[in-house]
């Protein structure tokens, strides 16, 4: 289902575009599909959202833009951990690259999200935690501020040590149930000193390509 959705999303890439490449297993399928299109003489320049994606793109021969030298992108293709039906608001960040993903998504004219139908929800939150990227320096104080808000934070670990994002930050996964007002929560979290970015991607996705067992569904905002 995800592979079919990735193929459909990559079909929107046109010659001469600058394209953002997301992070995670679903986004990697899009990178592979894009690399196959290069054999059709498609000319693009890509911007990866993580070192993992960069390594894959380089291995597959996808041309990459210099780091930071891309004021505007035509399109970004990425996955999501949750997609809210109707609004197409997202939760992202379980792959650990939410800061770079949001920078790239905010710089793009269009964002196409690839998911299977298990990621579509009526309201964000619930069974999926909300990742929040925080500065490593003084992280415990930031963590306590999140706990004081009742967000049930858990510091993400890797091999028994705090997980580090590509930017050198920690990630806290907040288990808060269904989110009644995502924009209010985003504003509250952004106001906490030490919070770098949240996994709430609000108003960024323009198209969501959903892989069902019976075929592909395209949702537009």
State yes or no: pLDDT of 94 exceeds 90: yes
Alpha carbon of 29 to those of 24, 34, 127, 209: distances in Å?
9, 9, 25, 13
- Put simply, whether the predicted model's pTM sits higher than 0.85 gets the answer yes
76 and 113 together in one domain: yes
Residue 46 lies in a domain: yes
Residue 70 lies in a domain: yes
CB 104 within 8 A of CB 76: yes
Burial class (CB in 10 A: 0-12, 13-18, 19+), 71: exposed
- Residue 143, domain CATH: 3.30.70.260
Q: How many CA atoms lie within 13 A of 110 on its CB side?
A: 17
Element (H, E) at 112: strand 111-116
31 and 113 together in one domain: yes
Cα separation, 163 vs 66, whole angstroms = 26
pLDDT (average), residues 168-197: 97
State yes or no: pLDDT of 68 exceeds 90: no
72 and 15 together in one domain: yes
Domain that holds residue 64: 2-120+202-212
109 and 134 together in one domain: no
Residue 218 lies in a domain: no
138 and 62 together in one domain: no
CB 146 within 8 A of CB 153: yes
Residue 191 is encoded by which pair of tokens?
Answer: 């106001």
The pLDDT score that the predictor gives to residue 121 is 97
Residue 109 lies in a domain: yes
Cα separation, 193 vs 119, whole angstroms = 31
Residue 176 lies in a domain: yes
% of the chain exceeding 90 in pLDDT = 94
Cα separation, 109 vs 38, whole angstroms = 22
Residue 88 is encoded by which pair of tokens?
Answer: 């197409």
Residue 36 lies in a domain: yes
**What is the average pLDDT score of the chain?**
96
87 and 175 together in one domain: no
Residue 63 is encoded by which pair of tokens?
Answer: 């041309």
- When pLDDT is cut at 50, 70 and 90, the band that residue 141 belongs to is very high
90 and 177 together in one domain: no
State yes or no: pLDDT of 1 exceeds 90: no
Q: How many domains does the chain have?
A: 2
92 and 112 together in one domain: yes
Of 7, 28, 84, 101, which one is the catalytic site residue?
101
- Residue 31, domain CATH: 3.40.50.1360
The pLDDT score that the predictor gives to residue 23 is 95
Known catalytic residue: 101?
Answer: yes
pLDDT (average), residues 147-169: 96
101 and 137 together in one domain: no
16 and 89 together in one domain: yes
Residue 219 lies in a domain: no
Cα separation, 73 vs 107, whole angstroms = 6
115 and 193 together in one domain: no
State yes or no: pLDDT of 120 exceeds 90: yes
36 and 102 together in one domain: yes
């Amino acid at each position: 289902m995800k592979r079919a959705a990735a193929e459909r999303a990559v079909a929107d890439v046109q010659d001469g575009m600058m394209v953002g490449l997301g992070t995670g297993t679903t986004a990697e399928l899009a990178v592979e599909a894009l690399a196959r299109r290069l054999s059709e003489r498609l000319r693009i320049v890509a911007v990866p959202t993580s070192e993992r994606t960069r390594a894959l793109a380089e291995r597959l021969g996808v041309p990459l833009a210099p780091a930071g030298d891309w004021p505007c992108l035509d399109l970004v293709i990425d996955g999501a951990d949750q997609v809210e039906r109707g609004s197409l608001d997202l939760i992202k960040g379980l792959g650990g690259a939410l800061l770079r993903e949001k920078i790239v998504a905010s710089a793009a004219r269009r964002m196409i999200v690839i998911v299977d139908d298990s990621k579509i929800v009526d309201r964000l939150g619930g069974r999926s935690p909300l990742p929040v990227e925080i500065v490593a320096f003084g992280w415990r104080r930031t963590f306590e501020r999140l706990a004081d808000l009742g967000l049930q934070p858990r510091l993400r670990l890797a091999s028994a040590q705090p997980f580090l994002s590509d930017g050198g930050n920690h990630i806290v996964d907040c288990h808060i149930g269904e989110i009644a007002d995502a924009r209010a929560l985003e504003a509250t979290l952004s106001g906490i000193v030490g919070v770098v970015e949240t996994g709430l991607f609000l108003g960024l996705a323009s198209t969501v390509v959903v892989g069902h067992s019976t075929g592909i569904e395209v949702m537009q905002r």
